[in-house]
A and B are shown apart, each in its own frame.
Chain A
Amino acid sequence: MERIAITQEAAKIVEQLKQKHGELIFHQSGGCCDGSAPMLFEKDDMYLDESDVFLGVVNNVNFYMNQDQFEYWKHTHLTIDITEGRGASFSLEIPLGLRFIIRSRLLSPEEETFFNKK
C-alpha cells in the first residue's frame, strides 16, 4: 500500500529531468504564492533532517514533507500530476512551462488503518 502515486504524464517529466539533473527529490511545500505544490530538487540541494517526513518513492524519487504539515496531511492519499503553468519557485520543471501539482483524496478505511493505526 502506498501513500503516494504519480500520473504517467508527471512520471515522464520526472524521467526527463533526471536525465538533465541526476538524482532528485520531491519536497511538498507550504503556503503562499507558489506554495502547496510538490517541488522537485536535485538530491543534495535541500538539507533534510528529522523534521522532514518520508512519504514514499515515485519513479525512484523520494518524496518528503515537513512534519508540521504532515500532521494535517496524514489522512490523505497524494497523486503527483503535472499541468501547464508558471511558478516562481526553484522547482526544476518550471523552465519547461509546467508545474507539478498534487491531487489528493482521503485515505480509504483500509489505508487509514495501515498507515495511521499501526
Chain B
Amino acid sequence: MSYSKPKFKTTYGNFINGKFVDPIGGAYFENTSPIDKSLIAKYPRSQKEDVELALDAANKAKEAWGNTSVTERAALLNKVADIIEANLEEFALVETCDNGKPIRETLNADIPLAVDHWRYFAACIRAEEGSATELDANTLSMNIKEPLGVVGQIIPWNFPLLMLSWKLPPALATGNCVVLKPAEQTPSSATLLMEKIADVFPPGVINIIHGFGPEAGKPIASSSRVDKVAFTGETTTGQLIMQYASKNLNPVTMELGGKSPNIFFNSVMDADDAFLDKAIEGAVLFAFNQGEVCTCPSRILVQEAIYDKFMERVLERTKAIVQNNPYDTSCMVGAQASNDQYEKIQSYIKIGEEEGAKVLCGGEANKEGDLANGYFIKPTILEGHNKMRVFQEEIFGPVVCVAKFKDEAEALEIANDTLYGLGAGVWTRDAHQLYQIPRAIKAGRVWVNCYHAYPAHAPFGGYKKSGFGRENHHMMMDHYRQTKNMLISYDKNKLGFF
C-alpha cells in the first residue's frame, strides 16, 4: 500500500498562550521534506522576543496549573492520547513527510508509542503518593511533591512526535508549564498536535516555539525565567546548556549521544532456529530509522568462532532491506533527515575506508529511480577495529561497524572502550552471560536478547558522556519536581533554649 504527501498550510505560527501567533520579527524559514526536497511549509524563525512571550504565558499559567488536581491533569493527558490515536494516520503521514522515515514505522511505532507515553504518565500521576515519616512520637516529616514551575524543553528531529511525547507528559503531569522548541528540521508534527489539542489545556500551559538553535533555543536554555531545562541532542550543545543552567542554578536533564555495542556470543549459533533468526535481525537493526537513533547499535561485536557464518547471514539480511519511497508500506529504510546528515554519513564512510575499514555492503548513496532527489544512503557494513574513528564517533546513519572478539573479557573491553554509555545489546543462550555481561557494560540500557524496544515504564538514559536523567519511567517525574518537606511538631512544650 502506498500513501502520498499530506497537505499543509503555507505558513504556520508559534503556539503561545493557547493560540497560534506570528513571529514578532515576521521572519520564517522554509521546511522541506527529505524524501524529495519539496517544500512542506514555512515556520517561524523565532527570536528572543518570541521566546519571552512564551515565557510570559507560561509563567502566568504556572500557579493555576500547578494547583490543578491530578485527577484533572491526568484526564487531560488521556484526552491528548485519545486525540493522537484517533488521528494516527494523519500524524504518521506528517511525520514521514517531515523526517523521511518509512510510513511502516510511523504507523506502527512512532505514533502508537507516543500515545502510550501520554497514557503512562496520566496513570503514574494518579497512582503515586507522597510520604510521611514519624521521626519521633511528636514529630512528623511530610514530603509533598511540588512542580518546578516553567520547564524549557529542546527536542531532536529523529522521532519528532515521540520525543515530544517523552518530554511533555511527565512535565505536565507533575504540574509544570512548558516552553518547547521542536527541531527546525521537523516542526510539523508538534504543530499538528497543537492544532488538534489547542483547547485541551489552559492557555500558557504548553507553548511551542519554532526556530534555530542560536536564535530561539539559546534564549530558552539561558533564561532565568525557566526552572529547568531538558535536552536531547548532541554533546557540545548539552555542555553549553549546562553552562547556561549553572548561571541560573537550574537543574537539567541530558540525553546525548551514543555508540552502542551489540554483542553476539558463540552460543547464538548453537541452533538454526527462531532465536538465531531474531539475533540476525537484532544485528540488522542498525539500519532501523536510517540509523538516526541515539542508541543505534552501531558496533556489532561477534565472537570469533561464529564470526564468518554469522556475518554471512547478517549481510544477506542487510542486502534484502527494501529501500524505496517512504510513503510505501514496503519501505524499510527511508531518507536521512537532512542534507548535512546525508553528507556527513558519506564523509564517515570515506573516513572508514581511509582508515582501512572494509566495506562489506552498501557504502554509498542510493540514487535509484525517484530516490535520486532525496537523501538516501544504502545500509552499510564496515569491518574494522575499535580504534578507528568510525567505531568511536556517532555517524547517525545506516552504517554499522563490525569487529570480532575472542572471549568475554575482550568483548567487555571493546564494548566499554567508548566515550558514551547509552545503549548496548547482548545476545547469548548462556544463562550466566545473560546477567553478568549486561552488568559489566557501562550503559544505561542493555537490551538482552532484543534491541530497540522503548516501552513506557522501562527507564531510559545515559552513563558517561551520554548524559543523565531517566526518561520513559515514573522516576522522570522527580526530574520535574521539588520536594517540599514539612517538619511538623505535635509537642506542646518549648525547647527550653530561650
Contact = CB atoms under 8 A, between A and B. Distances in A.
Nearest to A105: B354
Interface string B133-163: 0000000000000000000001011100000
A22 interface: no
Contacts of B215: 95
A52 B45 CA distance: 32
Given A45-B240, A89-B233, A31 B354 contact: no
Nearest to A45: B240
A116 to B, nearest CB: 14
B21 to A, nearest CB: 20
B340 A95 contact: no
A31 B260 CA distance: 12
Contact of B344 (A76, A101, A106): A101
Interface residues of A, number: 42
A19 B239 CA distance: 26
Interface in A78-100: 83-92, 94-95, 97, 99
Given A101-B340, A103-B347, A88 B465 contact: no
Contact of B158 (A33, A84, A89): A33
A8 interface: no
A104 interface: yes
A83 B341 CA distance: 10
Centre residue among B45, B217, B235 by max chain A CB count within 10 A:
B235
Interface string B291-319: 01010000000000000000000000000
Contacts of A88: 154, 156-157, 183-185, 213, 217, 233, 237
A33 B234 contact: yes
Contacts of A102: 347
A86 B34 CA distance: 11
Nearest to A36: B393
A10 interface: no
Instruction: Choose among B45, B234, B351, B392 the residue with the greatest number of A CB atoms under 10 Å from its CB.
Output: B234
Given A72-B387, A89-B237, A94-B213, A31 B343 contact: no
A106 B394 CA distance: 19
B463 interface: no
Contacts of A89: 213, 233-234, 236-237
A17 B336 CA distance: 28
B389 A34 contact: no
A72 B243 CA distance: 26
Given A88-B156, A103-B347, A31 B213 contact: no
Nearest to B216: A95
B79 to A, nearest CB: 30
B416 to A, nearest CB: 14
A69 B419 contact: yes
A64 to B, nearest CB: 10
Contacts of A97: 29
B125 to A, nearest CB: 29
Contacts of A103: 347
Contact of B213 (A30, A72, A91, A104): A91
A72 B419 CA distance: 11
Contacts of B232: 33
Given A31-B234, A33-B234, A95-B212, A76 B389 contact: yes
A30 B257 contact: yes
B340 A84 contact: yes
A109 to B, nearest CB: 15
A45 B221 CA distance: 13
Given A46-B239, A72-B387, A37 B340 contact: yes
* Residue from A31, A45, A47 having most chain B Cβ neighbours under 10 A: A31
B355 interface: yes
Nearest to A92: B214
Contact of A39 (B29, B154, B236, B354): B236
B465 A68 contact: yes
B259 A85 contact: no
Interface in A37-95: 37, 39, 41, 45-47, 66, 68-69, 72-73, 76, 83-92, 94-95
B15 interface: no
Nearest to B420: A31
A7 to B, nearest CB: 13
Contact of B394 (A35, A73, A91): A35
B258 interface: yes
Given A46-B236, A106-B354, 19 more contacts: A29-B234, A29-B236, A30-B257, A30-B393, A31-B257, A35-B235, A35-B396, A36-B344, A72-B393, A76-B351, A83-B340, A85-B338, A86-B184, A90-B217, A94-B214, A95-B45, A101-B343, A104-B347, A106-B355
25 contacts: A29-B235, A30-B235, A30-B256, A30-B465, A31-B294, A32-B156, A33-B156, A33-B183, A33-B292, A33-B294, A34-B233, A36-B344, A36-B395, A39-B236, A46-B236, A47-B243, A85-B340, A85-B341, A86-B185, A88-B183, A88-B237, A94-B212, A95-B215, A103-B347, A104-B351
Interface of A: 27-37, 39, 41, 45-47, 66, 68-69, 72-73, 76, 83-92, 94-95, 97, 99, 101-106
